[in-house]
Amino acid sequence: MEEKMLMKGNEAIGEAAIRAGCHFYFGYPITPQSELTAYMAKKLLKMKDAVFVQAESEIAAINMVYGAASTGVRAMTSSSSPGISLKQEGISYIACAELPCVIVNMQRGGPGLGSIQPGQADYFQATKGGGHGDYHLIVLAPSSVQELVDLTMDAFDLADKYTNPAMILGDGLIGQMMEAVEFKERKKINLPDKEGWTLTGCKGREKKYIVPFNLDPYEMEKLNLKIQEKYNKLKEKEVRYETVNLDNADLIIVAYGIVARIAKTVMSNAKKEGINIGLIRPITLFPFPEKIIAETSEKVNKFLVVEMSMGQMVEDVKLAVNGKAEVNFYGRVGGVIPTQSEILTEIKKYLK
């Protein structure tokens, strides 16, 4: 059954999550993602064996996710920047406990209460851990409403596969955008059995416990190393990106999410002026597509990273390029969206 419908980004995430078998949602209202919370309320409160709770705070919401996930169900919470900051302790616990869940961050301008317009300044928080301790989320960055749908479904699979929390890192613009989406029939994939770790009551077996701590530092180090192994596997197997026009490009734009879409318009406008631009669009921000960036830096010697931040992903691009090409940065922040003409002006500066 393939259906096409016109949907707002935030609602599309909700529908995708439900179709991915997530019937447990815990949230707290915040702009610009409130439509998602409302959508889950509308759908889940009418569904049998489904749960929607408007939590008393983002802190409570993520801890409800922790509890629900410990029983083996697919659970989700969503918020926007300030609310995601509040969730960090809980996310760190979930990562340490090695439980799967999905967290949606429709970023807005920061810091502080910031603005309610779109932003990308939570990149560090999303990709470097965010909370305390050495852990990572699987971070997926959609750039269309269709991709919101597909990546939301993938996020649940990846979270289950790696027993690790996954994050959809969108922004206010993509959440508010209306686009046609298709809910494609998905191939059934084999996911690891959850039986080994789920808390269900100890009937017919030994008791199980989930404790994200160990006061013996050597044991705690072992746990860290075990989690680290998953991240290595993620880096090996789950990197995703899109490339456009890498051959013969004069300059490569690296951008993700909504900014990558603006970059595509920049590319075609530049072409009319005889400027040949290529694009690398990371789809997974963790694991980061460093290999393709490194390879490209052997062929093209100018990069421009464009973000709605003061320069966060640019650090990962620089690490990948490792001095082999010039890496420049252009960013707008606080909820301001860079226009294609200002990006083109910026590009021309470097191609003089």
Partner 1 sequence: MKKVFESPKSLTKDPFTYCPGCHHGIAHRLVAEALDEFGVREKTIGVCPVGCSVFAYVFFDCDMICAAHGRAPAVATGIKRAKPDSIVFTYQGDGDLASIGTAEIVHTANRGENITVIFINNAIYGMTGGQMAPTTLVGQVTQTSPYGRDPKTMGYPIKVAEMLSTLKGVAYISRVALSKPAYILKAKKAIRKAFQSQIEGKGFSLVEILSTCPTNWGLSPIEANKWLEENMIPYYPLGEFKTPEEVS
Residue ranges that bind partner 1, judged by CB under 8 A: 24, 26, 51, 53, 55-57, 59-61, 63-71, 73, 75, 89-90, 93, 97, 199-204, 207-213
The nearer residue to partner 1, 67 or 82, going by C-beta atoms, is: 67
The nearer residue to partner 1, 28 or 329, going by C-beta atoms, is: 28
From the list 57, 19, 68, 58, the residue with the least C-alpha distance to 39 is 19
Q: Are 60 and 36 in contact (CB under 8 A)?
A: no
How many C-beta atoms lie closer than 10 Å to residue 283's C-beta?
21
The nearer residue to partner 1, 207 or 272, going by C-beta atoms, is: 207
The CB-of-77 to partner 1 minimum distance in angstroms stands at 10
CA dihedral 46, 13, 189, 100 (to 10 degrees): -80
Q: Six-digit token pair at 121?
A: 């300044």
The nearer residue to partner 1, 24 or 329, going by C-beta atoms, is: 24
The CB-of-83 to partner 1 minimum distance in angstroms stands at 14
The CB-of-124 to partner 1 minimum distance in angstroms stands at 22
Distance CA 206, CA 34 (A): 42
H or E, element range at 130: none
Give me the sign of the Cα torsion angle 91, 150, 282, 256: negative
The nearer residue to partner 1, 72 or 334, going by C-beta atoms, is: 72
Distance CA 327, CA 258 (A): 21
The nearer residue to partner 1, 46 or 272, going by C-beta atoms, is: 46
178 φ, ψ (degrees, to nearest 5): -105, 130
Residue type, position 143, single letter: S
Distance CA 75, CA 65 (A): 6
The CB-of-79 to partner 1 minimum distance in angstroms stands at 15
The CB-of-205 to partner 1 minimum distance in angstroms stands at 9
The CB-of-215 to partner 1 minimum distance in angstroms stands at 9
The nearer residue to partner 1, 88 or 176, going by C-beta atoms, is: 88
Distance CA 22, CA 65 (A): 11
The CB-of-76 to partner 1 minimum distance in angstroms stands at 12
The CB-of-95 to partner 1 minimum distance in angstroms stands at 12
Distance CA 349, CA 124 (A): 28
The nearer residue to partner 1, 93 or 286, going by C-beta atoms, is: 93
β-sheet bridge partners, residue 166 = 102, 138
The CB-of-219 to partner 1 minimum distance in angstroms stands at 14
229 φ, ψ (degrees, to nearest 5): -60, -40
From the list 187, 186, 155, the residue with the least C-alpha distance to 170 is 155
Q: Six-digit token pair at 344?
A: 């083109």
The nearer residue to partner 1, 93 or 183, going by C-beta atoms, is: 93
Distance CA 343, CA 337 (A): 11
Strands 178-182 and 4-8: antiparallel
Distance CA 214, CA 209 (A): 13
